[in-house]
Structure 1
Amino acid sequence: MSSPVPVVEVEDLRVTLRRGQAEVEAVRGVSLTVGRGEIVGIVGESGSGKSVLGLSLMALLPAAARPVVTGRIRILGTDMVGTTATADRLVRKKHIGAVFQDPMTSLDPTMTIGNQLAEVTSNRREVVRLLTDVGIADPETRLGAFPHQLSGGLRQRVMIALSLARNPSLIIADEPTTALDVTVQAQILQLLLDLRKSRGCSVVFVTHDLGVAAQICDRIAVMYQGRIVESGDVDTVLGRPEHDYTKGLLASRIDLTTPRDRPILSAHGAGSGDALPAVWPAVVTGAPAVTIADARRTFSTGPFWRRRQLEAVRGVTLEIGQGESMALVGESGCGKSTLLRLVAGLDTPTSGSVTVAGDTGPQMIFQDAGSSLTPWLTVGELLGERLSAAVPGIRKPEADRRIAETLERVGLPAEVSRVKGASLSGGQRQRVAIARAVIVPPTVLLCDEPTSALDVSLAATVLNLLGRLRRELGMSVLFVTHDLAAARIIADRIAVMNHGRIVEIGDAETVCASPTNDYTAALLSAIPGRELRQSHAAEHGDHSEERRA
């Protein structure tokens, strides 16, 4: 009896793209198979080639990059290399569903959810069934909603519903949980596992997060510089890694056991120029730098004849000492970003008060550093603007010296001052954003999810950099995140927010090790990692006979 045809067969795949006048070999001789009902994770950092591999499987490489593809890709025995666009479209329509990182860029903002699903299947009953299958409550009501009216988790569920509409044999999920809270992330991963079990579809899961890969995948292929450097079942690759790059990724990964008293190890020497100490020096906190007293912020929503009051922050009282690092943790919609805006002075409380000590005031760094940098200014001009605003009349030689010193402080060479943000990598852009914030040291540095979309080694270097800078400059830090593991590393204390209130606050280690609030415990249990995968052992075992090395 012949063995079943694999859902995906890739042999010696090579993909070359053009960027300007340069040629980039993004995928270099990759071979891979995916069996029926199997979930295979493609793991690697930005620039490793993993997303290009995913796009190649769908024949969706950008035409502007003038891709040259050699080797072989077969989807259920059908070739995808050297074929026509019409043939590729038929294969995608018949066999492939796709789920991307940001559903807002994939969903049409001008169409309701119901109309977008109706383009794929005109049967209203089928549309409702699809939304029910992906765990959307009250699907009849959601049909009339636009994408911007849904939460990030609901939008991602809609994207999965769209990908399932034609009952594909293969789902290609490219970083589908990166921007989601840990609890929503856990729900999406469980959903994909349930769909694999109920529909028998295979999944190629592209991610930079080894914890997520451990939770959902049967096998993992680790990519580095366009090549698969290591592959195998999850327990082998993560438990007994052979390649130095895989070992580096595991060493960089932040979890609840990562030592807090020293800088985090980074993969392949990332951040090696940051002059970090072997052990962090103790921090002695001073008088309150930030004082929040019974702060409330209420928003009015809806048309004037049907006004609703949304209480985003509900009576928060909090003090952050000078030099102290405080993490504010919670899911989307809990009020943490609104509270951060109140501290930044970008909004005012409806009642209560927010006071920031000192003359320099707060500075802020954001999740997407690229969009926070003015695109037409060089890095030097960006830093110069901040410096001249804080120090009127500063002379150019002194400004140039301060800019060079600050770039060196954040681990960037002086020549970076002459380039624009678009020319830099994601990690470099985040360092520029930090440099702009600290070139005139603020009383408090406000960090809004600065590591949530970064690879493990980049996240480690940013956390290390913030840890060093706040000690060198004596700054207070308010670090907003949904990731308790990152909060435990960066913060002296953690405050957990839910429904606009602080439900738990305490020493970072104590909150993570012995939570007193059920909501905190739920956030901790949702952190993806190897231990969470055990509950899926039965599902994964169902497909062990079809795995391929």
Structure 2
Amino acid sequence: MERLDITDLTITYSSERRQQTAVEDANLTVERGDLVALVGESGAGKSTLARAIAGIHEPATIQSGSILLDERELTQASTEEWRAIRGSRVGFAFQDPTTAFNPVYTVGDQLEEAIRAGGPPLADGSLLASVSRRFRRRSFPRHRERATALLEEVGINDPEACLDAYPSELSGGQCQRAFLATALAGEPDILVADEPASGLDATTQARVLALLEDLSETRDLGVLLVTHDLGLVSEHCDDISVLADGRTVDSGPVEELLADTGHAATESLVSAARKLTPPDRQRVSVDGCAPSTRPRPTTDETVVSVRELTKRYPIDDSLVNRLVNDRSSLTALDDVSLDVREGETLGVVGQSGSGKSTIVECIAGLTEPTSGDVRINGRPVGTVSSRDVETLGRVGVVFQQPKSSLNPRWSLRRSIAEPLSRCGWANDRIDERVSELCSLVDLSQSVAASRPDAVSGGQAQRAALARAIADDPEILLLDEPVSALDAPTRAAVVSLLEALHASREGATSTVVVSHDLGTVGQLADRIVVLDDGAIVERGPVDELLSAPEHRRTRALLDAVPNLPAAADSGLSTASSSNNQSIL
């Protein structure tokens, strides 16, 4: 039987000053037909280990150990051999698909190229950048049909529209599903999925994990699922392996390991795992975070006003179609109206592709609406390029993929300082303010001096948060602020956001976009629910989560995965002090 065997694997990152060990003596086995979870806190080495399996771990170096695929040693494979292995033997789905797709080609172009090549061309770190005009001209109907079938298989509702769209026109969840389709294009023996559901809502998460589970059975496909969500692991995976500080500290069947944790790192993950409590609770919380006790805003003064907002993206904007006035479009928002009061936190929830992130982009001025009106303190928003310095400083944004929003060539500290410099702060004040911000979000000076590719997702998110609040904004926009983080770090960041709000005495109005109802329930005062670009339900957080009226809200609540009761017995809930130590 074909299987993947990792034995005593050690991987390091080197710099001019030192060598850092990311994975140390790790061991893992994935057999055909099995769905194995690889879990651990941010920075545990999960993604580094996963990338080594596909030979895309550079700039890291494999120092020792073995990766065997059907008794073939992969650590010694040449570049040419890896080109033959990827796609047809090992498929890879990335945590951040927005950096994997080529932004200048449509999803269809790139998916069809992956079908021809036997999977996404990951060699040389270029991912799908090798799509060429030559391949576009050689597109055949059978490739289009296969691409459509793959998108349907991963849960894209309108595959034809998705094929004609550019990656930037898709939501984070749609983009993740589309790239998962490219990973399956070559029908590989082993699929490595690095957080494939972290940017998806609960119902779509369940669908994608059910798909992976079905694929492992029907295709006899070995799946290694890198994830931080133990709820999903408990419901869909056969075995689990736990990493801590790069080492394998626990492994075994899921039910046994979650019911009787053998290591402190496993117990910490289980204790802090996200679960939505029953609706009779007055304040929904993330496990490990005490329910919020801050007072609800009492002022009726509106800071953000959105009226009849509609946003459509053209699917085919070619010159010929413009001349004949045939410009098909994808509706992201449809007649959306909402208000955010002073000091209020408004939660925006919905399935992937429902338009949540587009609302943030319109309020931030990053995209211009097709119609409708967005105002901040009574003034039209306009686009970022048309704003003066004062207006720019009023809005802080934390994006869904923090590493994508940070300059890869800059240290985290320089990225945090950049908006202050843009707003005219003096250099000595900038240095003082950046140090204060790093302390506020518990980001060490050594980490702040690192580049984004050398830090964990949780560390990058803290830097992004520090950058967003650098100039004391009146409005803070949080687009999936914790979706890519492990349970303890997610709980810690939620606690941090609560503490930041309290320290500012409620002066900041916040819009938090998330598919994680536990997070929204912890942070928000009111919630609006989006479905296909329209608001279908809204109300105070306690009322809406305890007695939802719309089917979409009920579906989101019902789909939230929970750990089995046995996994909770005997485990102490992580205290807020423990959570702060994770930050």
1:67 alignment partner, SS class: strand
Q: Which of 535, 542, 545 is the equivalent residue of 1:509?
A: 542
Alignment of 1:79-478 (within 5 A): 79-82=73-76, 84=78, 92=86, 95-107=89-101, 110=105, 111-120=109-118, 125=142, 128=145, 131-132=148-149, 135-136=152-153, 145=164, 148=167, 156=176, 159-257=179-277, 280-292=293-305, 294-299=307-312, 301=314, 302=317, 303-304=321-322, 305-308=325-328, 312-346=332-366, 350-352=371-373, 354-356=375-377, 361-373=394-406, 386=419, 401-412=432-443, 425-473=456-504, 474=506, 475-478=508-511
- 1:447-481 deviations in Å (ceiling 9; x for gaps): 12222222323322221111111122112211112
Q: Is the 8 A contact 1:373 1:421 kept in 2?
A: yes
Residues 143 and 250 of structure 1: CA distance in aligned 2, closer, same or farther (over 3 Å): closer
Q: Is the 8 A contact 2:173 2:352 kept in 1?
A: no
Residue segments in structure 1 that go unaligned for 5+ positions in a row:
267-275, 533-549
Per the alignment, residue 273 of structure 1 pairs with none
2:458 alignment partner, SS class: helix
Q: Which of 52, 76, 91 is the equivalent residue of 2:70?
A: 76
1:221 alignment partner, SS class: strand
Q: Distance in 2 between matches of 1:313 and 1:94?
A: 39
Q: Distance in 2 between matches of 1:218 and 1:505?
A: 39
Per the alignment, residue 542 of structure 1 pairs with none
- Kindly state the Cα deviation for residue 496 of structure 1 after the two structures are TM-superposed: 0.7
Q: Distance in 1 between matches of 2:159 and 2:342?
A: 52
Per the alignment, residue 493 of structure 1 pairs with 526
Per the alignment, residue 31 of structure 2 pairs with 35
Amino acid at match of 2:482: T
Q: Is the 8 A contact 2:10 2:62 kept in 1?
A: no
2:250 alignment partner, SS class: strand
- Kindly state the Cα deviation for residue 46 of structure 1 after the two structures are TM-superposed: 3.1
- Kindly state the Cα deviation for residue 348 of structure 1 after the two structures are TM-superposed: 6.4
Per the alignment, residue 383 of structure 2 pairs with none
Per the alignment, residue 519 of structure 1 pairs with 552
- Kindly state the Cα deviation for residue 407 of structure 1 after the two structures are TM-superposed: 3.8
Residues 495 and 21 of structure 1: CA distance in aligned 2, closer, same or farther (over 3 Å): same
Q: Distance in 1 between matches of 2:159 and 2:469?
A: 50
Q: Distance in 1 between matches of 2:408 and 2:88?
A: 41
- Kindly state the Cα deviation for residue 315 of structure 1 after the two structures are TM-superposed: 3.6
Q: Distance in 2 between matches of 1:139 and 1:23?
A: 47
Structure number, greater radius of gyration? 1
- Kindly state the Cα deviation for residue 229 of structure 1 after the two structures are TM-superposed: 0.8
Q: Is the 8 A contact 1:113 1:145 kept in 2?
A: no
Amino acid at match of 1:485: G
Q: Distance in 2 between matches of 1:73 and 1:346?
A: 44
2:152 alignment partner, SS class: coil
Q: Distance in 1 between matches of 2:492 and 2:331?
A: 36
Per the alignment, residue 50 of structure 2 pairs with 54
- 1:491-528 deviations in Å (ceiling 9; x for gaps): 12211112332211122233223211011112223334
Count of residues in Structure 1 that have an aligned counterpart in Structure 2? 515
Q: Distance in 2 between matches of 1:113 and 1:214?
A: 31
Amino acid at match of 1:297: T
Q: Distance in 1 between matches of 2:368 and 2:175?
A: 30
Q: Distance in 1 between matches of 2:484 and 2:232?
A: 13
Normalising to structure 1: TM-score of the pair? 0.79
Q: Distance in 1 between matches of 2:198 and 2:438?
A: 29
Per the alignment, residue 132 of structure 2 pairs with none
Residues 203 and 251 of structure 1: CA distance in aligned 2, closer, same or farther (over 3 Å): same
Q: Distance in 2 between matches of 1:245 and 1:103?
A: 29
Normalising to structure 2: TM-score of the pair? 0.75
Identity fraction in percent: 32
Residues 403 and 289 of structure 1: CA distance in aligned 2, closer, same or farther (over 3 Å): farther
- Kindly state the Cα deviation for residue 44 of structure 1 after the two structures are TM-superposed: 1.5
- 1:398-444 deviations in Å (ceiling 9; x for gaps): 66555544443333457888777676554344333333433443333
- Kindly state the Cα deviation for residue 88 of structure 1 after the two structures are TM-superposed: 5.5
Q: Does 1:22 align with 2:26?
A: no
Q: What's the C-alpha RMSD, in Å, of the aligned pairs? A: 4.0
Q: Is the 8 A contact 1:182 1:527 kept in 2?
A: yes
Q: Is the 8 A contact 1:94 1:166 kept in 2?
A: yes
Residue segments in structure 2 that go unaligned for 5+ positions in a row:
120-138, 380-389, 566-583
Per the alignment, residue 480 of structure 1 pairs with 513
- Kindly state the Cα deviation for residue 76 of structure 1 after the two structures are TM-superposed: 2.2
Per the alignment, residue 3 of structure 2 pairs with 7
- Kindly state the Cα deviation for residue 219 of structure 1 after the two structures are TM-superposed: 0.7
1:212 alignment partner, SS class: helix
- Kindly state the Cα deviation for residue 200 of structure 1 after the two structures are TM-superposed: 1.7
Residues 157 and 117 of structure 1: CA distance in aligned 2, closer, same or farther (over 3 Å): farther
